[in-house]
Amino acid sequence: MLRKNWFGGVFKPKNLHSLEHLRYLYSVLSKNQVVSESNRGLLVETLRSIAEILIWGDQNDSSVFDFFLEKQMLSFFLRIMKQKCGSYVCVQLLQTLNILFENIRNETSLYYLLSNNHVNFIIEHKFDFSDEEVMAYYISFLKTLSFKLNSHTIHFFYNEHTNDFPLYTEAIKFFNHPESMVRIAVRTLTLNVYRVNDQSMLQFIRDKTAVPYFSNLVWFIGNHILELDACVRDDIE
């Protein structure tokens, strides 16, 4: 059943958990591809609603993901990110993605979301990490993705042909971040990566990232030990 209110000639369905509502939200995104002050609130609410419907569809209606994939709706997320849309919209995008991947249970739905390489493009996007909220949601998103890693999904993230693994290489850039929450998330992510039994991926880590990452990690730990030692000595004195 459709409500009388409508947007751009498309009626808004009464049932918010339905394929019809996702079609409606797709029309909203299609008509608001350029972010402006006037449509930021609408886009944020649309992104929230999309996550809700996809989580519902994951368990109740496979046609929801079929439509999401057919229309390549993740590409809208990328287009929005590439604009100077401000932290308000970026935070909502990352929050939406985090909620979505955290709650997806169906393996086929997960494969749909990871196809077309959009997620890797999002991971590599140059966010404004000076914004603490953006940083927090970004690293949380990466950590959530790492919990989805296994021998089947690793190939969506690690490309053996191009020898590229953005989920890992982007995350370890923040191993020494001043925020402890970020450092803990990076360590959790790396452990989730290491437990995946994929020889080519593990070889990539050993060859391309092991020396700089673990050398810096040892230095970081050693530096903290010296700081703790200095604190203890000061207390004794």
From the CB of residue 165, how many other CB atoms can be counted at a distance below 10 Å?
22
Q: How far apart are CA 114 and CA 106, in angstroms?
A: 13
Q: Tell me, what DSSP letter sits at residue 206?
A: I
Q: Over 60: is that where the pLDDT of 100 sits?
A: yes
Q: How confident is the model at residue 185 (pLDDT cuts 50, 70, 90)?
A: very high
How far apart are the C-alpha atoms of 188 and 168, rounded to whole Å?
A: 11
pLDDT of residue 88: 87
Q: What's the token pair of residue 168?
A: 């890992």
DSSP notation for 98-130: HHHHHH---HHHHHHHHGGGHHHHHHHS---TT
CB within 8 Å of 128: residues ≥ 6 apart: 87, 90, 134
Predicted local distance difference test score (pLDDT) of residue 226: 59
Stretch 85-113: mean pLDDT, rounded?
Answer: 89
Tokens standing for residue 147: 């919990």
State the pLDDT confidence band at 11, using cuts at 50, 70 and 90. Answer: low
Segment 140-152 shows an average pLDDT of: 96
Q: How many CA atoms does the CB half-sphere of 234 hold within 13 Å?
A: 6
The candidate with the shortest Cα–Cα distance to 53, out of 88, 26, 27, is 26
Q: Distances from the Cα of 25 to the Cαs of 6, 10, 190, in angstroms?
A: 11, 10, 36
Task: Give pLDDT tens digits for 56-73.
Answer: 998 899 899 899 988 989
In three-state secondary structure terms, 33 is coil
